[in-house]
Amino acid sequence: MTLLQTARQFDRGVLPVAHFGLDWPAFFAKYPLPDVFSETVYLWDKGRLKDMQNDRLKAILEIGWSNAYYRELWASAGVRPEHVRTVDDIARLPTFNTDDIKSSQDAFPPFGSITGVSREDFGKQPMKVQTSGGTTGKPRPTLFGQLEWELNGLSSARGLYIQGARPGDVAQIPATCGLANLGWAIYKGCHDYLGVMPLTTGSGLVTPTRRQIEMAFDFGTNIWVSFPEYFSQLAKVCKTELNRDFAEMNCKFIATFLGPDTDGGLRTYLQQTLGTKVYDNYGINETALGSFECTHQCGLHIMEDLYLFEIVDTETGEPLPDGQTGNIVITSLCRTIPPIIRLNTRDLGRIIATERCECGSHFKRMDHFLGRSDDMVRMRGVNIYPMACLTAVRSDERSTGEWLCVAERTEIGGVIGEKLTVRIEVKKSAESREGMVEQMERRLKEDLGVRIAVELVDEGTLAEFTNFGREGKARRLVDLRRKT
């Protein structure tokens, strides 16, 4: 007897109870649970995957044509339904970005016409609101219907399962279950789909770092999910305040978001400091987890049964071949509230592998998240992405690993110009700063192709600007040119 058949034995009233809102057997047949996924869809060949993508894209496009936002967007670009029949045709559709979403939300508050639902629809099914982190402006809200909310947790569970999470594990989540999505997605993935106990400690502002570590030892935490900056803080407090090594926890792995760690330096540092494997992941507010590393750590597997990832030129928007860096454009093959069809995330990325991975998966693999194209600063004809400073900043052990790029206008002798300074924190324990400026400037020039001034600042100085130690991703650029 199915859950729905059992439920019909009771008087359920008229409330939109989540337990009765989906046809669960059909849901799991379409979107397999983590263990089933790892042995089926995850291992499918490219042909079978593409057939699935074509079927799902057709269904999503039908929803798009009935959605006022997409209908207007596509009609203005001269696109008709017959123009897009398979995934090979998808570049014929125009992209949109978060600025367009915000404009729609301003015109049709609070969620915009893109959701395809109105305020009157809210009582028809369970819904949830999450927002972006706000690192690039005012946080933007995203509406989740029941299907989307379940997939929010299920996609996270898939990534964690591939990385090694199993029933009975304890996953500590130093990310608050607030309006940002990370804490919720990991909590729901662990609790609802993995049999893993989520320890929802929240950020260091919610549960102080020392207490986070004490709880981890008390409750047997063996998986952690948070941002890399906070893991550095955890390891430091563990050693200085508790006189213990983080590695004593014998964790199975750390799931995090490494950013542009193209030389592997950050991962190596974290793995040595924390005494366990560190896996990279990528996701955004509108799609939840989109890609994840397997245990071979050779690129992030794009969850191709749920999403299409394209890489497009940052200027022209034209598709780029594999291996080239550009903006990540995402189409969700499962979302309906709202549908997400060719969202230009303005996150920089590149496809690094399309062949079968050692783990057996044929899913395409992308490189680490490489920064934001809208954070780009142009200096002396060179495009500079603040996140590209990471390798240089962390190349000197005297650095805390924290940095901030500051773009300013200058005026010398009546001539208006621009300059970019990279402020780099130095550890309190550093015995000397001798040669550090010269070394950092030389390394930055090698990495970025242009000479940039370096300013050394004391440890903790940048926290107010970078968001370090708070909820969400760190900010790496302050553009004072926009304020003058």
d(CA 170, CA 357): 28
Per-residue pLDDT at 484: 44
**CA 339 to chain centroid:** 18
Q: What's the burial of 79, exposed, middle or buried (CB within 10 Å: 0-12/13-18/19+)?
A: middle
What pTM, to 2 d.p., does this model score? 0.84
Task: Give residue 47's pLDDT.
Answer: 97
The pLDDT assigned to 439 comes to 92
Domain 376-483 has what CATH class? Answer: alpha beta
Taken in order 257, 314, 417, 395, the sign of the CA dihedral is positive
Reported CATH class of domain 14-373: alpha beta
pLDDT score of 297 = 97
Tell me how far apart the alpha carbons of residues 198 and 215 are, in angstroms, rounded to a whole number. Answer: 12
Averaged pLDDT, groups of 10, the chain, 484 residues long: 54 81 96 98 98 98 96 95 95 95 91 89 91 69 95 98 98 93 96 98 92 97 93 92 96 94 88 97 92 98 98 95 96 96 96 97 96 77 78 88 86 73 93 93 87 91 71 75 56
**For position 437, what pLDDT does the model report?**
94
183: its two tokens: 């804490």
pLDDT of the residue at 450: 82
Give pLDDT, residue 119: 84
Q: How far apart (Å, rounded) are the C-alpha atoms in residues 319 and 317?
A: 7
Domain boundaries for CATH 3.40.50.12780 within the chain: 14-373
